[in-house]
């Protein structure tokens, strides 16, 4: 099989060379096409951090193995790592965090074993990077959670949990506050759970989850979360097992998959040949198993685990009384231990069953959409307006423009209601949300909304609008704090 390889920036080329050397010595049945991605590609004028040839190669091969990459600071460009995941819809980020004997942590010293798999939604949430300044004082970031996107990652998490014989799968969320967005993700979780009665499925509010992970991580098995929360929790879990230097990462999609180290480029040690290649190697082993190269993966992983058990280390971990090896020497130590079995966590030597590579030639963007509920209705609109006036003054002007179709229901500032009731102690900024709802049972159209917009614009700068929708008689919008 042929896969695409991007060496990365900083220490990327050094650790990638170490890993590929281990693969070659283990006679891994892969060939490599090297592609141009990373900071130096940004610097050549490619705004997405990859050349067109690189994109074409990756899309034709379907597998990308990549080192850490840097995004130039202060140039207004998006992270190449996030761009790659989103461009190719690698919707599930899987990170496995396990106790590694020879890597001392608080939990290993206490004899508490850790084996937690975090599945993070990889496409949506605030990572769309859709942001605007509504006024000179108020910034807005749009957070997208979709039903099809949530179903994709949750379904993957349940399938993966079943294959690894997980005892428990947990949804981490903040649906107690973000009732619409996280509420939708949690709803999808329990909808999918119905198809997996053999798995114990439960949910935990994300802040409580973090507390439990740092006190009793052995209670958890598989955890699935939205993008931002998953990003934070996965780094927290890395800290439980020794840091990002021991955290593999796989980005799984229907057509393309990316396997990468998620730690930084470490410019302070670039070129010194002292970086730890373990995270990239573990990611590579995940890739080998994804490709069906089970025997190769087990031989290498057993050698890595045996090497760590012997106290062999790079300078960033382990017993400081023992000599630290450089990157090349550490890779060679693993190679020298091929065929040896670790005392803890040894992997069974299963036969290789290479997958048949599928070359996808898509003619149009895949459309993922669920069946729409009946009885859709527009029942109002939120008008986000700029004003430095007091809430009552804002309300007085709004009331002039309600027409016969609308009633002004509430005005909030930073999500807290300030009209028709509120507190004089509530600080306000120069941006209000004015909620207009339909009068009685009169249906509303977008034309009605536009007419209200026109009338309000005589008194206010309107920063943004959001329709108040209902499906099947259920409100699809949240209330203001205190409403």
> Domain residues of the chain, as ranges?
1-89+254-371, 92-252, 377-475
232, pLDDT greater than 90: yes
- Give me the pLDDT at residue 179, please: 94
Span 100-129, average pLDDT: 93
Residue that is written with structure tokens 């981490």 in the block: 172
Distance CA 147, CA 450 (A): 28
Span 288-306, average pLDDT: 96
- Give me the pLDDT at residue 76, please: 66
- Give me the pLDDT at residue 47, please: 84
Q: Are strands 168-173 and 200-205 parallel, antiparallel or unpaired?
A: parallel
Residue 361 CB coordination number (10 Å): 6
CATH number of 377-475: 3.30.70.1570
Distance CA 278, CA 261 (A): 9
- Give me the pLDDT at residue 75, please: 61
Residues 1-89+254-371, CATH architecture: 3-Layer(aba) Sandwich (3.40)
CB 432, CB 456: distance < 8 Å: no
pLDDT digit string, tens, across residues 180-207: 999 999 999 999 999 999 999 999 999 9
CB 388, CB 332: distance < 8 Å: no
Token output for 276:
């730890």
Computed over its alpha carbons, how large is the radius of gyration of the chain?
26
* Range scoring the smallest mean pLDDT among 79-83, 345-349, 413-417: 79-83
Distance CA 466, CA 316 (A): 50
- Give me the pLDDT at residue 74, please: 62
Span 124-128, average pLDDT: 91
End-to-end CA distance of the chain: give it in Å, rounded.
60
pLDDT greater at residue 182 or residue 262: 182
pLDDT digit string, tens, across residues 50-84: 999 999 999 999 999 999 998 877 666 778 888 89
Task: Give, for 222, the enclosing helix (H) or strand (E).
Answer: strand 222-225
Percent above pLDDT 70 for the chain: 99
92-252 and 377-475, same CATH topology: no
Q: Which CATH superfamily is domain 92-252 in?
A: Isopropylmalate Dehydrogenase (3.40.718.10)
Average pLDDT, the chain: 93
Distance CA 187, CA 183 (A): 6
459, pLDDT greater than 80: yes
235, pLDDT greater than 70: yes
- Give me the pLDDT at residue 318, please: 86
């Amino acid at each position: 099989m042929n896969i695409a390889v991007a060496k990365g920036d900083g220490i990327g080329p050094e650790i990638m060379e170490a890993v590929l050397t281990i693969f070659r010595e283990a006679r891994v049945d892969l060939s490599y096409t090297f592609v141009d991605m990373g900071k130096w590609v940004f610097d050549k004028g490619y705004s997405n951090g990859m050349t067109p040839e690189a994109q074409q190669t990756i899309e034709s091969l379907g597998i990308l193995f990549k080192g850490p990459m840097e995004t130039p600071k202060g140039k207004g460009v998006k992270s190449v790592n996030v761009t790659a995941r989103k461009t190719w819809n690698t919707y599930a980020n899987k990170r496995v965090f396990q106790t590694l004997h020879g890597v001392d942590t608080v939990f290993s010293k206490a004899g508490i074993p850790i084996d937690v798999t975090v599945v993070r939604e990889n496409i949506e949430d605030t990572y769309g990077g859709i942001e605007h300044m509504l006024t000179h004082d108020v910034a807005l970031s749009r957070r997208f959670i979709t039903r099809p996107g949530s179903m994709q990652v949750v379904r993957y998490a349940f399938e993966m949990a079943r294959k690894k014989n997980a005892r428990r799968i947990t949804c981490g969320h903040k649906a107690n506050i973000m009732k619409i967005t996280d509420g939708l993700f949690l709803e999808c979780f329990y909808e999918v759970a119905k198809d997996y009665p053999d798995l114990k499925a439960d949910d935990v509010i994300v802040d409580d989850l973090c507390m439990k992970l740092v006190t009793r991580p052995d209670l958890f098995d598989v955890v699935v979360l939205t993008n931002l929360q998953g990003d934070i929790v996965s780094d927290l879990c890395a800290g439980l097992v020794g840091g990002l230097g021991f955290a593999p990462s796989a980005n799984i999609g229907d057509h393309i998959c990316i396997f990468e180290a998620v730690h930084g480029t470490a410019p302070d040690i670039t070129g010194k040949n002292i970086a730890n290649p373990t995270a990239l190697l573990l990611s590579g082993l995940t890739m080998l198993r994804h490709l069906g190269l089970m025997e190769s993966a087990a031989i290498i992983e057993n050698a890595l685990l045996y090497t760590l058990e012997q106290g062999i280390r790079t300078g960033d971990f382990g017993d400081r009384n023992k000599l630290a090896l450089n990157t090349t020497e550490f890779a060679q130590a693993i190679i020298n231990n091929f065929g040896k079995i670790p005392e803890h966590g040894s992997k069974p030597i299963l036969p290789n069953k290479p997958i048949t590579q599928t070359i996808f030639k898509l003619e149009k963007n895949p459309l993922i959409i669920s069946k729409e509920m009946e009885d859709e209705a527009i029942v109002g609109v939120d008008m986000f307006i700029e004003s430095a006036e007091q809430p009552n003054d804002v309300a007085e002007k709004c009331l002039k423009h309600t027409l016969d179709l609308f009633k002004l229901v509430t005005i909030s500032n930073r999500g807290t209601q300030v009209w028709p009731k509120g507190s004089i102690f509530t600080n306000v900024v120069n941006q209000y949300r004015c909620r207009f709802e339909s009068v009685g049972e009169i249906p509303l159209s977008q034309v009605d909304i536009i007419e209200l917009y026109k009338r309000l614009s005589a008194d206010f700068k309107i920063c943004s609008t959001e329709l108040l929708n209902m499906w099947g008689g259920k409100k699809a919008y949240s209330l203001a704090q205190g409403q």
